[in-house]
Structure 1
């Protein structure tokens, strides 16, 4: 059974999409599919219970989807064309289809392990992507090929350890990095208080109070991060900035971060 938080995020995703579009239909199909849900849940079990990492399951993957759709909308509203539009290979809605698929499946590989999980995610996601695209694009192999390729680029590139080239894939990187609020680290913090390598990730994430994605002043997208203590700057400088530096979306971003109640530091 889905949690109230999952249902709330799903509602917000659908509210941002235009009813009757293919991207809206794909989002509905992903949310309704029991097998997809079970795969996300098991990836989360392995991530938290076996590996001691934070949330990499249904809530996280839906949050990344919501973040990605929000950023896509902000770019479009600012007149920024995504790659499919610029290359005349597809429409904005085609790009949204790929972005939603990549966001929804990018961490499935955590069911196997952390190392190379983006590669395992692509392997696990490929038949799922094919089945969804076959349903929404019957008789359109051109659409299926383009959207599948773009979605896989987004999945493979979300760890910022390989070069990506499309704005669509670059959105996944940033959308993933923006899911850093303290709720994501709550369960690992409660389960394990023994010191271990990598603890800085959960402690720094636990200090992040709020992440806002909104229209920027000088750039199309402003990301504002508020934290309860300066340990949260680890999330900014060691997690978020490396993702931004590898993302084709970087020229369109403003990044501000700081302790709640104090003036935020401008990074970008």
Structure 2
């Protein structure tokens, strides 16, 4: 992890960006090769652009394009790293007979492809993501040098499970899937709602996102991960107490994360100063 500026243009601190050159609590060679492949693949990048049209352009909803995917993938990998550092055992790759080094590959690919179903429709998009991601994964995994047919099928299965379970209608059966699900909700900072807000969008998702200043992941006290959320007004409570809480529920990470949101604004009366999940 690194303290550089993050994908949203915010000055970073711990737990915001996955650094391939950094020291990690897991074997990272396969993951770093996958990240390079994804970055250079024209079809994947085209999907990340096209999948933003329905939610943002047509429905004035928050960003679900390239920036969202970059932030979610970074948060997912930072969350994964902190959980590994905290001694959490992951079951997805292990129960498929895969290697530990395949755990972050599953997390990264699911985070990258979880929203491509938006090219079909915003509604029920996780279910549309499955066949589209399945086709891409067949090619991606065949191109990578470390998977035979059997291993590729098992990695694909775990990635698709995590993609489906980023939606609250489905319960994750693996810790890898739980990481992707929670990371999706951790993209809540104000930059995500900039486009719909500038075009007059004033729905609760947009307004509440505008109130979130920063999200940080750190080593927790008594739990593997502390999630710190800075908000500028009480509207941000919706992001924390509704959206993030819903994603955390049944994720398998409930006892492994501590989430604290603080109202940092000092120039007015504060209806909410601090909440903790």
Equivalent residues of 1:134, 1:144 under 8 A apart = yes
What is the SS of the residue equivalent to 1:250? coil
Q: What is the deviation of 1:11?
A: 7.8
* CA shift in 2, pair 1:153/1:247, >3 Å: same
Structure 2 counterpart of 1:249: 253
Partner Cα distance (1:148, 1:85) in 2: 11
Q: Is 1:115 matched with 2:128?
A: no
Partner Cα distance (1:24, 1:138) in 2: 13
Structure 2 counterpart of 1:126: 134
Structure 1 counterpart of 2:75: 67
Equivalent residues of 2:226, 2:259 under 8 A apart = yes
Q: Is 1:235 matched with 2:239?
A: yes
Structure 1 counterpart of 2:171: 163
What is the SS of the residue equivalent to 2:51? helix
Equivalent residues of 2:197, 2:206 under 8 A apart = yes
Q: Is 1:153 matched with 2:161?
A: yes
Q: What is the deviation of 1:192?
A: 2.4
TM-score by length of 2: 0.86
Pick which of 71-80 and 18-27 moved more: 18-27
What is the SS of the residue equivalent to 2:217? strand
- Which one of 208, 224, 230 corresponds to residue 226 of structure 1? 230
Q: How does 1:55-204 map to 2 (within 5 A)?
A: 55-84=63-92, 87=95, 89-137=97-145, 140-193=148-201, 199-204=203-208
Equivalent residues of 2:232, 2:265 under 8 A apart = no
Question: 5+ unaligned residues in a row in structure 1: which ranges?
Answer: none
The RMSD of aligned alpha carbons is 2.5
Q: Is 1:42 matched with 2:50?
A: yes
Q: Is 1:259 matched with 2:267?
A: no
Pick which of 84-93 and 103-112 moved more: 84-93
In terms of fraction of residues, the more helix-rich structure is 1
- Which one of 212, 218, 222 corresponds to residue 214 of structure 1? 218
Q: Is 1:14 matched with 2:20?
A: yes
Q: What is the deviation of 1:261?
A: 5.5
What is the SS of the residue equivalent to 1:14? coil
Equivalent residues of 1:17, 1:23 under 8 A apart = no
Equivalent residues of 2:18, 2:75 under 8 A apart = no
Equivalent residues of 2:72, 2:183 under 8 A apart = yes
Question: 5+ unaligned residues in a row in structure 2: which ranges?
Answer: 1-5, 267-272
